[in-house]
Structure 1
Amino acid sequence: MTNRARLAVPTGLAAAFLLVGCSSDNDDSPQLNTLPGFITGEVQQQDYDGITDDLLTAGLGGSGLANATAPAFADSLNPTPAELRRLAIYTNYRALADMTADGGYGRLYGPQVGRDDDGLVAGSETLALATVPGANHPVTVMVQVPASFDTEQACMVTAPSSGSRGIYGAIGTAGEWGLKQGCAVVYTDKGTGTGSHNLMTDRAQRLDGTLSDDDDAPVLFRANLTDAERQAFNTSHPDRLAFKHAHSRDNPEADWGRHVLQSVEFGFYVLNQRYGKPHGDDGRTVVLTPENTLVIASSVSNGGGASVRAAELDENGWIDGVAVSEPNINPTPDSSFTLRQGDGPVITGHSRSLLDYTTAIALYQGCANRAPAVRDDAPFNAALNNVGVNETTCTALAAKGLVTGATLDEQATDALRILNDEYAIQPEQNLVAPSHYGASVAQAIAMTYANAYGEFPVNQPLCGLSLAATADQGTVTPLADAQEAALFATSNGIPPTSGVQLVYDQAAGAPTRLADAVSTSSGLADHGLDALLCLRSLMDGLDPVTGDALSAPLQVQAERVSTGVEAVRASGDLQGKPAVFVTGRADAILPINHTSRPYFGLNRRVEGDASGLRYYEVLNAHHLDAFNAFPGFDARYVPLHHYYLQALDLVYDRLTTGAELPPSQVVRPQPRGAGAPALTLAQLPAIQPAPAQADRIRFVDSQVRIPD
């Protein structure tokens, strides 16, 4: 049955045709439900009553998730799996959403909204490890089936983790919407996740988050080192950790779409184990299939990008629609179209890769933080960034000829110009970017993704960068046992996180936390500029200072990185599926001129009038809603999450009732303003079914045209 046919037949009626079971041989014998071959090891399943514990809030309820005090472990060194799960759900929910009532939590979004209780959801949760051919390490997959699931109106939502987070990384986004809708939610950590390996103690996390030093135990990740290699590295680089996304020697992003499709297949297995008819000894027949179950590919950020890739790769027609927010997508570059916002400059240099624009931000943003246009107005600039280091970074860049200007203000202004003009980073992102630099977002992404794209081993630190805990002066120290015990629950999978820092091993004097590092070439505390230049060189394949060819070893590394980057490029072909992207114009992590905007153009080039994609660009919104809880952000920005939930509603309505998706458009919510009074729905205009002509985003004459 095609997607179009599904629109014409109510889900319950479609299911009635298929409940007799199906067979690949088109006979009357029932199809037996079998565990997919990509599942490795034990399948773990747990039921939750929705009273003492639940799927969505781990028993905390919406009010408990809003509590600023995190749930504690009875024994900080030996947390139980249930305690780790509860803290993981608490941490991941709060990492993505503004949890303040004035910002909208508990009123406009949250587990309890639309419910007459605190938002607890009863049901079952099933976890397993899975693998794709050629991968060195497994991924985690999970299926949550709410007690309200209705086989006559069967639905499924994908929830790959955002960022590099673990299996609960999308619990507060796709998880919240899907479970409240009564849909099964299928999760994957997509080969990133919280898996870490303490190379000194040899401890790693099991599927339930507890630690093991048994080399034969199934764990989320263990570095591909022999005992001799690990011991040699511990001697030269003591107290280091390996993280799965950076050091698995896989390029997980190249398989994100496959990971999502595997989670869907595992989801159907779990559903049919639960709802299929008994057949023989312990067997079950297949009653729920892609033909009678509505499947929406969803999630945000990296998870959104993974679901988009899954829709592109969906040869079997398992996915019916796509609803994603701020997707990390690397469109295949296509110079046949351009971008233009209002009467602004025509942008030809769109579709830069994640590593391209991120290494540029890592290189120039520290100096740009000092620019008069952003210095005093950017929230958290002074709080998170060392002003002195910003200035010495400008000095070091100027000495290398990478910025111009006789004064610090002029040098910083030139650094900002380079980012805006040469790298097509929108000016709307300028006030958000300093806070992200202070949190080492670009630096962490550059280090992690360069390692992943080139599939480099942990014992050969790329550009002299490794991962370890550090003391007050930035010197390497062992990670505290209590911090390591909690990593499954507190880590975002991409250090700096949970006490683990980026360390520059080649800093002048001794290995030092990157943010505190003195570069050998400059003799200055310039945020380890030498390391950032090295990462940039791997992107360009040229020395960023001289423009010369790289040394032979670096050239080999750059070629490996380039191969990895090309492997993650998106095709733009969503196969006509109804799809919605929502993205904040002020996104300073995934700049819109390299992600959502050019993907919209590429999709129009590939699919033409058959395209089902709609793009909604939201003003006064950025990438990390959680920052909106803090002064400076609260007055300026609205929750993009609100529009993500609306996108899911729109796609669901399209698939169940045939309602048309609204045209692509700019959405104009009003920020809270001075004093940040409580946000109201009146400030959040809905995505319009018939937007004004002046608000419509169009693809005209080989150009994506976006209104101001």
Structure 2
Amino acid sequence: MFSQQGTTQHSGSDDLLSAGLGLDGLRTMLPPAFVDAEHPTSEELRRRALWSNWRGIADLAPGGGFGDVYGALPSVPGREFTAYAQVPGASQPHRVLLQLPDGFDAGKRCVVVTASSGSRGIYGAIAVAGAWGLPKGCAVAYTDKGNGADYFDLDAGMGVDAASQVAVASTDAGLAFTPSTTSGQGVAFKHAHSQDNPEADWGRHVKQAADFALAKLNEALPAQAPFTFANTRVIAVGISNGGGAVLRAAELDGDWLDAVVAGEPNVLAEGHGARSLYDYTTEAALLMPCALPQLGIPAMPGLEAKCAALTARGVLTGVDFDAQQKDALAKLHATGWTDAALRAGSISVAFDLWRAIGVTYASAYGRYPHDAHPCGYRFSALNPDFTPRAATAAERAAWIADGSGIPPGAGVGIIDPQPLTDIGLTGLSCMRTLWMGDDADAQRVRKGVAETTAKAPRAGLPVVVIHGTDDGLVPQAFTSAPYVAMAKAAGRDVRYWQVRNAQHFDAFLGFPQYGAVYVPLLPYVYTALDRVDAYLDGKGALPANAVIPTVPRLGKPLTADNLAMPR
């Protein structure tokens, strides 16, 4: 099950939680530098990956509350154990990692198992699971769930190995991802191009990370062995895609999990209101920019031409710009979008996330190789005029640390199938047709989506689901609400916290315009973990269902009163 195993020691100025950066170092705007930009060491890449992933998930800005109102970032010495794991039937491995603190609590015997949020690499849940579990003496097991920033440079024929080093593809290179064909130009990456539809196996990825944790605990702590699921507490936690992954793990057979906490989960469940990520993402990519001005959000440059082009294509109706905006908003309302979700969804419009997600997931669900996207998209380093070029050695070396697992970003962009004069609408319309149409490609993509459908959690397993009511990337009406309803209808013990004034991205709360009106979600995840842990110790009850009436901080430092944490 496991290969390419490695062990490293981390202490002093290179601890488990932040590689010695601490809160002040993580707040620094520039990433940790490499001595040799083209040949960074594994230690330098790890430090930079931790910096990137902390900043991509948590609000660390002064006044945001981290370290004062909730959370902490102590120096935690310990060891890391790494490996590739592979689920049966998959062509590509996923990375697994165990962080074992020197202060492991031998009496409690606790493992926190987690999956990266979004498509991030192996440290993509450090701010969620590591920040909570490591200071408490728990070991923390991670999986990148078949995603991650293991990009492959097609021009150079190079990928990333187990030690995060760039290497030439060969039979003995031990790369974390090698596409089925290495010919061509540009960049291939695991989430889109593994041809495994990794989302269908997210639950099994989490289970394998837990298996890896027990195996390594038995090796590392022989005096306390054996570690088994019967005598070791295992709590699964994740947010976003990681939240969806731990809910998928919850449905697996066997008495191996003790509790699950899922924040803002990307999960597809059968039931009223449920919609797949691909469905509402491709809808948002087309319609949301035109709808937002009706909610008081300034129009982006060129929007009038885009809305007029959509009208000419029959996607919108309206004799003028205002009427076209109203029609876009009405169409989104009709499919379940709330104004709160649309306002927060403007973040994804501004950062081109709807297109990025649609392009990546079309390939993933349809199991297409890098050179066969059904709508003609490709990925590459880009010139200033958006034409493709070969990546530089320095760009290639930094991808594993800087990449989020879904371009654009870290020097990799999306190549649109049509000239820029098309305003991108041919590609966006094609992606929408993959959901709405009925040709072979549409059936292929929808089959992949269906493979990700969640089932009810195992009977008797405590599950806590937490979601912001203003989430604009993974709206609760399409995801967690149908899941909770399905699970409760099946008689499962699922508790549901709905957090007012919380959207999807804590990291964006450092921007004053977002921090003023939204509260972070991480405090509720940490608190839910505290209460679940106390419940398992016999010292408290599971969290009760709650709609939490938070209070926006309106430019002031966050306080406990803003969070209105349920008692």
> What TM-score, normalized to structure 1?
0.78
CA contact (8 A) 1:87 1:490 kept: yes
Q: 1:533 aligns with which of 429, 441, 450?
A: 429
RMSD (CA atoms): 1.4
Q: How many residue pairs end up in the alignment?
A: 566
What's the counterpart of residue 177 of structure 1?
Answer: 132
Q: 2:276 aligns with which of 350, 353, 356?
A: 353
Tell me the secondary structure at the aligned position of residue 430 of structure 1.
Answer: helix
Residue 88 of structure 1: CA displacement? 0.1
What's the counterpart of residue 387 of structure 1?
Answer: 301
1:299 aligns with 2:230: no
1:47 aligns with 2:4: no
Tell me the secondary structure at the aligned position of residue 111 of structure 2.
Answer: strand
CA contact (8 A) 1:430 1:588 kept: yes
Deviations 1:601-657 (A, max 9, x none): 1011112xxx22100000111100111100210110111111111111111111112
- Deviating more after overlay: 81-90 vs 447-456: 447-456
1:678 aligns with 2:562: no
What's the counterpart of residue 580 of structure 1?
Answer: 464
Distance 1:604 1:105 in 2: 34
Distance 2:374 2:131 in 1: 38
Distance 1:413 1:576 in 2: 47
Larger radius of gyration: 1
CA contact (8 A) 1:355 1:449 kept: yes
Residue 286 of structure 1: CA displacement? 4.1
Residue 110 of structure 1: CA displacement? 4.1
Residue 658 of structure 1: CA displacement? 5.1
Deviations 1:135-169 (A, max 9, x none): 11111000011111122211111121100000000
**Which residue identity lines up with residue 458 of structure 1 in the other structure?**
H
What's the counterpart of residue 281 of structure 1?
Answer: none
Q: 2:379 aligns with which of 434, 443, 467?
A: 467
- Deviating more after overlay: 259-268 vs 437-446: 437-446
1:95 aligns with 2:56: yes
What's the counterpart of residue 28 of structure 1?
Answer: none
What's the counterpart of residue 421 of structure 2?
Answer: 518
1:540-619 → structure 2 map (5 Å cutoff) = 540-542=436-438, 555-607=439-491, 611-619=492-500
Distance 1:298 1:467 in 2: 32
What's the counterpart of residue 194 of structure 2?
Answer: 248
Tell me the secondary structure at the aligned position of residue 228 of structure 2.
Answer: coil
Distance 1:270 1:540 in 2: 47
**Which residue identity lines up with residue 678 of structure 1 in the other structure?**
P
What's the counterpart of residue 547 of structure 1?
Answer: none
Distance 1:223 1:180 in 2: 39
Tell me the secondary structure at the aligned position of residue 105 of structure 1.
Answer: coil
Distance 2:338 2:460 in 1: 30
CA contact (8 A) 1:101 1:107 kept: no
**Which residue identity lines up with residue 71 of structure 1 in the other structure?**
P
CA contact (8 A) 1:62 1:110 kept: no
Distance 1:39 1:258 in 2: 14
Residue 267 of structure 1: CA displacement? 0.3
Distance 1:218 1:172 in 2: 28
1:281-292 → structure 2 map (5 Å cutoff) = 286-292=225-231
**Which residue identity lines up with residue 174 of structure 2 in the other structure?**
P
What's the counterpart of residue 452 of structure 1?
Answer: 364
What's the counterpart of residue 415 of structure 1?
Answer: 328
1:358-373 → structure 2 map (5 Å cutoff) = 358-369=281-292, 371-373=293-295
1:149 aligns with 2:149: no
1:668-707 → structure 2 map (5 Å cutoff) = 668-673=549-554, 676-688=555-567
Q: 1:85 aligns with which of 41, 46, 63?
A: 46
CA contact (8 A) 1:159 1:171 kept: no
Distance 1:47 1:128 in 2: 15
Residue 75 of structure 1: CA displacement? 0.5
Deviations 1:25-75 (A, max 9, x none): xxxxxxxxxxxxx112x31001222x1211100111222112222210001
Q: 1:219 to 1:74 in 2, by over 3 A?
A: same
**Which residue identity lines up with residue 518 of structure 2 in the other structure?**
Y
CA contact (8 A) 2:194 2:367 kept: yes
Please list every run of at least 4 consecutive aligned residues from structure 1 whose deviation after the TM superposition is greater than 3 angstroms. Answer: 109-112
**Which residue identity lines up with residue 680 of structure 1 in the other structure?**
T
CA contact (8 A) 1:433 1:588 kept: yes
Distance 2:552 2:229 in 1: 41
What's the counterpart of residue 35 of structure 1?
Answer: none
CA contact (8 A) 1:574 1:603 kept: no
**Which residue identity lines up with residue 479 of structure 2 in the other structure?**
T
Deviations 1:393-437 (A, max 9, x none): 20111112221222212211221221122x211211122212211
What's the counterpart of residue 31 of structure 1?
Answer: none
Q: 2:217 aligns with which of 257, 265, 271?
A: 271
Q: 1:627 aligns with which of 459, 483, 508?
A: 508
CA contact (8 A) 2:129 2:238 kept: yes
What's the counterpart of residue 488 of structure 1?
Answer: 400
Residue 439 of structure 1: CA displacement? 0.9
Q: 1:220 aligns with which of 176, 181, 185?
A: 176
Residue 358 of structure 1: CA displacement? 0.9
Distance 2:16 2:138 in 1: 12
What's the counterpart of residue 296 of structure 2?
Answer: 374
> What TM-score, normalized to structure 2?
0.97
CA contact (8 A) 2:288 2:342 kept: no
Q: 1:203 aligns with which of 158, 167, 176?
A: 158
Tell me the secondary structure at the aligned position of residue 120 of structure 2.
Answer: coil
CA contact (8 A) 1:586 1:621 kept: yes
Deviations 1:158-197 (A, max 9, x none): 1211000000000111111011111110000000111111
Deviations 1:513-564 (A, max 9, x none): xxxx232xxxxxx2x111111111111225xxxxxxxxxxxx1111111111
What's the counterpart of residue 695 of structure 1?
Answer: none
CA contact (8 A) 2:247 2:457 kept: no
1:321 aligns with 2:321: no
Distance 1:72 1:110 in 2: 27
Distance 2:359 2:540 in 1: 44
Q: 1:576 to 1:374 in 2, by over 3 A?
A: farther
**Which residue identity lines up with residue 440 of structure 1 in the other structure?**
D
CA contact (8 A) 2:49 2:123 kept: yes
Distance 1:630 1:293 in 2: 41
What's the counterpart of residue 122 of structure 1?
Answer: 77
What's the counterpart of residue 36 of structure 2?
Answer: 75
What's the counterpart of residue 257 of structure 1?
Answer: 203
CA contact (8 A) 1:372 1:413 kept: yes
Tell me the secondary structure at the aligned position of residue 142 of structure 1.
Answer: strand
Distance 2:369 2:357 in 1: 17
Tell me the secondary structure at the aligned position of residue 541 of structure 2.
Answer: coil
CA contact (8 A) 1:56 1:111 kept: no
Tell me the secondary structure at the aligned position of residue 594 of structure 1.
Answer: coil
Q: 1:651 aligns with which of 527, 532, 540?
A: 532
CA contact (8 A) 1:61 1:111 kept: no
Distance 1:305 1:576 in 2: 19
Tell me the secondary structure at the aligned position of residue 632 of structure 1.
Answer: helix
